[in-house]
Structure 1
């Protein structure tokens, strides 16, 4: 048992002991003083013994007392003329002064009513039984100890499980959970265990995502570095190709610069979201600016960007720069894959308490199995030729949207092309 168990155990025992003492004190104050003397039944039995002793003598009186002793009743005390008690019980001189005296043939017999706490002598004539409170006190003590131990164990058990789970998590076991051990318990400690499970699941998710990101980054960095190394080697072997190889190195350097820039943006995203105070952001004005910037790139590809809003645009609370980057990444991705002469549509509306933004292109769409994966870092679908970006644009967009409490989903349109729907909590 741990320290918490013993602390709870002794605390409960002390609380029960104090409660019992206070109850005993209250009863002693309320109970009448005369209640400490003979019980009315004991007084009646003493009267019976006195009358029987006067009228029929000691033999009949002793026979009656034997019957009462067999019934385990609190017997009146019968003191013989020689000063001994009939059943060997000890009688104090103070009590003898209050005894009833019965004279028989010149000899004095004394009768005393059984006081509270007196027990009949044992049938074998040995020592008297313990006073009445003894068994009750023992039973109360055993019950208090049992109840305290059970309650202390019940309260400390989930805490021990939590302590073991924290040790396991600190030791690197990200799959540890407490739900199976806590079971159906419903209290604040069980809520703490369920909170630990949510925390552990989130940590496991983040660590696994970090590991995947590190693996993907290593792969993405290795490819351009390998091509640069090959270009340098070819240039050394054939000096006449130095100019072409330098152009190749320059292109790979630009790709590395783009990759590092997007990685830094991805790393700063959640940090900026946590440190920047949220401000009201009008989505219609923000989307007008983003669409205006995208039209320059779209014009070079003979693609038109059309923005439509449903009345007054909704307002969301968040970081305007992060939202701008999210919409810009999705829109640039749509323009990138839209065929020449097509239109990229941006629609802004409201559904319930959410602001809804949809961006759709007229391209070839995405395979159904890739709709969820296109938001993963470095993922490139079948329609990608590998020449555009590092595959982080949509991942950054998802992080920015989720940092604002929203969600982002992709789907294929019926007429062909990809549609990205973004939902954000809107202010009333």
Structure 2
């Protein structure tokens, strides 16, 4: 199929190129002549520019005489005006036409091949994507080009890589969600059976069943929240929020979880002004960040939460003393369903939800490892939110 396309391009370029050359030759032949005899020459001083180029050097030059003043008796006897001069072979029109024909064929073939070859490879790559081969990539012979095909090839590889990562993330989601749902359901089924067999165990079983149901509800809520944020179905409100109260409420709940795991949570709140935002979205973002910190910090360590005003924005910094994240994974932490440490529970949506919720409130979120003596000693997340324009005091 690619060869057929190349043939079509070849003939199109060839016909256009050759038609242009042929028109040029016809115009030249209509303007000038290879015959330098003096049969009907233009009037004196009216010769077209460049006519001397077609004069034949092998024939003695003859002064040009106006046609109306020609007198055969005045011509030298050695010149036969009935004889047409024959140009040398390197000036013959047929040779020129042959050279132009060969050049046009070569030009059209090279141009058609230069266009058809990358187009054919792109077509095969797109066919691979259509066949669900999402890891299709174009080779270095295309991506190293410095023309439009090179740029298109690099963009294609980037698009295919992102599509492959998205497909892999969805597959991981199906696996992780099914696992996360199946585990509490299986435990609830066991607890129900034990409660039926031993009525004395019913109270304990019901308490544990309630805990498992709470985990299921939390998981489903997290998935639904991310789905709504990703699809744009959530319309963020912009009302006055006391961020200090919101952070304090989240920390009260997280402190219970930290205390049960022999971890401590330290909170520092400055007197900050109100901001505009969506309370539910910001609560979800802050809760995901603080609960992640409590989850990954080791026992007998501390999680610090600090809220302060920095210039024209509020900054919420959450630091833990956990193992951090390998540097090569930092840029992927906000990718949905990505987990830098697979040995922890969760499906990798916490930071993705936090990022989208923060951006919906015109804020930003930044993550980084805490380094001490070139070693990772913790992890830091900073959420920045703009102040109300009416509260910003201009100097």
TM-score bracket relative to the smaller structure: 0.5 to 0.7
Alignment match of 1:396 (pick from 350, 353, 360): 353
Q: 1:295 to 1:256 in 2, by over 3 A?
A: closer
Q: 1:259 to 1:10 in 2, by over 3 A?
A: same
Q: State the number of aligned residues.
A: 347
**Partner secondary structure for residue 366 of structure 1:** coil
Q: 1:331 to 1:350 in 2, by over 3 A?
A: farther
Alignment match of 1:204 (pick from 145, 164, 182): 164
Matched, 1:254 2:214: yes
- By how many angstroms is 1:397 displaced? 1.9
Residue by residue over 1:281-319, the C-alpha shift from the partner in whole angstroms, topping out at 9 and shown as x without a partner, is 79x95744632543654787796643348x99999xx98
Matched, 1:359 2:321: no
Instruction: Answer whether contact 1:411 1:419 (CA < 8 A) is retained.
Output: yes
Instruction: Answer whether contact 1:224 1:255 (CA < 8 A) is retained.
Output: yes
- Give matches, 1:14-413, under 5 Å: 14-31=15-32, 35=36, 44=60, 114-115=83-84, 118=86, 132-272=92-232, 287-288=243-244, 290-291=246-247, 293-294=249-250, 297=253, 305-308=267-270, 322=281, 325-333=284-292, 344-349=305-310, 357-361=315-319, 365-368=321-324, 377=337, 392-398=349-355, 400=357, 408-412=366-370
Could you tell me how far apart the structure 1 residues matched to 2:22 and 2:386 are? 60
Q: 1:138 to 1:350 in 2, by over 3 A?
A: farther
Q: 1:401 to 1:342 in 2, by over 3 A?
A: closer
Residue by residue over 1:369-396, the C-alpha shift from the partner in whole angstroms, topping out at 9 and shown as x without a partner, is 5795887859697998x7xx87743342
State the match for 2:68 in structure 1.
none
Instruction: Answer whether contact 2:254 2:290 (CA < 8 A) is retained.
Output: no
Q: 1:137 to 1:256 in 2, by over 3 A?
A: same
- By how many angstroms is 1:43 displaced? 5.9
**Partner secondary structure for residue 367 of structure 1:** coil
Instruction: Answer whether contact 1:401 1:408 (CA < 8 A) is retained.
Output: no
Q: 1:314 to 1:42 in 2, by over 3 A?
A: farther
The structure whose RCO (Cα within 8 Å, separation 6+) is larger is 2
**Partner secondary structure for residue 382 of structure 2:** strand
Q: 1:198 to 1:21 in 2, by over 3 A?
A: same
Instruction: Answer whether contact 2:134 2:163 (CA < 8 A) is retained.
Output: yes
Structure 2 segments unaligned to the other structure (5+ residues): 40-54, 63-71, 390-395
Instruction: Answer whether contact 1:356 1:423 (CA < 8 A) is retained.
Output: yes
- By how many angstroms is 1:236 displaced? 3.0
Could you tell me how far apart the structure 1 residues matched to 2:387 and 2:8 are? 50
Instruction: Answer whether contact 1:334 1:344 (CA < 8 A) is retained.
Output: no
- By how many angstroms is 1:342 displaced? 8.2
TM-score normalised to structure 2 length = 0.67
- By how many angstroms is 1:150 displaced? 0.4
TM-score normalised to structure 1 length = 0.62
RMSD of equivalent CA atoms: 5.0
